Amino acid sequence: MSNTARTIMLVDDHAVVREGYRAMLQKQPGLSVVAEASDGVEAYRLYKETGPDLVIMDLSMPGIGGIEAIRRLRQWDKRAKILVFTMHQNAAFAVQAIRAGASGYVTKTSPPETLVHAVMDALSGKIAISPDIDHELALSHLAGESAAADLLTAREFEVLRMLLAEKTTDEIAEALHLSPKTVANLHSLIKDKLGVGTDIELVRLALRQGILTQVDLGER
């Protein structure tokens, strides 16, 4: 193993968090932060420029989100190592991140040692998942709550996304060139497949599963 420092890039839209990373990683010998980005596109640019050994990335960011950023980085460099470090204690997000090519998923509530361990694991090629997410994953399995994306057909998922984003049944019908009646049928079928009774439950489920994110909704 080389004894030069391993290089790290930080990606987080909150300056205070990046400061925190630095403070925590500085204590660790053999690590060196070589770049910082505050959003996905900047991360992409800086990765190509500096080619760090590891990227530590948040998920919730302006512009392209973290998941999409991971995907693009891995497309550019198939061997990029990306450790997700996020506030979302949510198994669905973790699954999405790993599928997109992340090497690990650690929540921000974890103690500093967990992050350091995960960094080491990721650098040595292991996949690191923080314990709370392991627990989450186990829970959602036990609850039999499969991912909505798997239960629904492509068409149904499309309608679901529009239901959550757009407004009325009629608007969706027009956008998708369907009869309003069909949209209503789909809407009903979706709720049935997902096992929810009301639209409100539907939104909550979508939030949990990361189909809808907070930024899509309220927070302008």
Per CB under 8 A, residues contacting its own copies are 13-24, 60, 85, 87-90, 108-112, 115, 136, 139, 163-164, 167-168, 197-205, 207-209, 214, 217-220
How many CA atoms lie less than 13 Å away from 44 in the CB half-sphere? Answer: 16
29 binds, among its own copies, DNA, none (CB under 5 to 8 A by kind): none
Q: Are 61 and 11 in contact (CB under 8 A)?
A: yes
| Interacting residues of 192 by C-beta distance below 8 A, sequence separation 6+ | none
Round to whole Å and give the CA distance between 99 and 114. Answer: 22
- Interface with DNA, residue 184, by CB under 7 A: yes
153 binds, among DNA, its own copies, none (CB under 5 to 8 A by kind): DNA
Round to whole Å and give the CA distance between 6 and 52. Answer: 8
- Interface with DNA, residue 204, by CB under 7 A: no
Choice between 123 and 194, CB closer to DNA: 194
Closest contact distance (angstroms) between CB of 178 and DNA is 4
- Interface with DNA, residue 197, by CB under 7 A: yes
Closest CA to 84 of 99, 64, 107, 105: 105
Closest contact distance (angstroms) between CB of 214 and DNA is 24
Round to whole Å and give the CA distance between 87 and 89. Answer: 6
- Interface with DNA, residue 188, by CB under 7 A: yes
CA 214, distance to chain mean position in Å, is: 12
Amino acid symbol at 218: G
Stretch that binds DNA, among 73-81, 137-145, 188-196, 210-218 (CB under 7 A): 188-196
Stretch that binds DNA, among 51-59, 67-75, 134-142, 173-181 (CB under 7 A): 173-181
| Interacting residues of 62 by C-beta distance below 8 A, sequence separation 6+ | 13, 39, 215
Choice between 29 and 197, CB closer to DNA: 197
Closest CA to 121 of 82, 93, 75: 82
Closest contact distance (angstroms) between CB of 205 and its own copies is 8
Binding site for DNA (CB under 7 A): 153-156, 168-169, 176, 178-179, 181-182, 184-185, 187-188, 191-192, 197, 199
